[in-house]
Chains A and B, each alone.
Chain A
Amino acid sequence: MESAENPPQSSPHSVPPPLVFMRFRPAWAYIDGIREFGRFFCQTTFGTQELADRACVVIQETLENAVKYSSNTADSELELSILSDGQSIEFSVSSLPDQKHLDSLRNELNGLQTLDPEQAYLAAFIRASNEPDASARLGLARIRYEGGVELSMKEEAGGRVRITATGKL
């Protein structure tokens, strides 16, 4: 039986069912509450403060991006899921972004993945320092470095985009 003391296990070849699945309107006001739920959930389920802190960064920054760039339509709800196979943890956020944002998101992710997470975070700081009037663009680099995860992006039917952050437990 699953419990906080016995986190769910699955066989290596199956996709584990989500431990958490949430669907909600893309509103900034929800982010704090969902982040703190994620902290509580990871602390309670996996028993480590370190993972709980990493979860906070991943959830905060992925949801901020999703909310900022969501299209303003009736089907633009966000989905957050958290999965684990007992070895790794996966945070996944699906959104319906404004299409003009897609290219910059793709470029940002591709650029990040040419550097290791620490180098990419330092590079993002340098860029922010050199471009004081531009938006910060620290979030994705922060997710990788501070969250201890790798990021991937998948374009889905209907214009939806799924950002997935996967890391070790």
Chain B
Amino acid sequence: MSQFTTVTVPKTDTVAIQLTAPNQVKLSGTITQKDPSNDLAGFFKALHTAALADKLDEVRADVSGLTFVNSSAIRLFVDWATWLKNERGQRYTLLFVTSRNVTWQKTSFMALMSLAKEVLKIEQVS
């Protein structure tokens, strides 16, 4: 049984989160809380752990509908990429689906790619 699809999705006021496939999570809305890690860090960590347990080849994180986030939220994506980069066993590729129409996604995921290009991919959609 897939562990990824059974990860508990947190309820937050401004961001909608869906697990849409055995390897896909979709986030939309905005993340501008003072400390978004309270809601989301544990969730991302659980997805990461589940993806390893499921021996997934790829996790698709569709953030194209995240219209604005603060830098504390960007930090959560840095952390996820760092956990994966530091993983010594079998690991998956983390594919971020981004929107070419959303400015913060273009700049921040470009920077993230330079940090962990061996484990990340970016797909741009309109």
Contact = CB atoms under 8 A, between A and B. Distances in A.
Given A132-B79, A136-B71, A60 B32 contact: yes
A101 to B, nearest CB: 16
B91 to A, nearest CB: 16
Given A60-B32, A129-B81, A132-B82, A142 B112 contact: no
Contacts of B115: 122, 125-126, 129
A146 interface: yes
A121 B113 CA distance: 12
A21 interface: no
Given A32-B32, A61-B70, A146 B79 contact: no
Given A128-B78, A132-B82, A136-B75, A121 B111 contact: yes
A92 to B, nearest CB: 20
B111 A125 contact: yes
Interface residues of B, number: 23
A145 B109 CA distance: 13
Interface size class of A (residues with CB under 8 A): 20 to 34
B72 interface: yes
A125 B112 contact: yes
User: Top 6 A-B pairs ranked by shortest CB distance?
Assistant: A136-B75, A138-B71, A53-B103, A139-B71, A129-B82, A146-B107
Interface of B: 30, 32, 34, 68, 70-72, 74-75, 78-79, 81-82, 85, 103-104, 107-108, 111-112, 114-116
Interface of A: 28, 31-32, 35, 50, 53-54, 56-57, 60-61, 64, 68, 121-122, 125-126, 128-129, 132, 136, 138-139, 142, 145-146
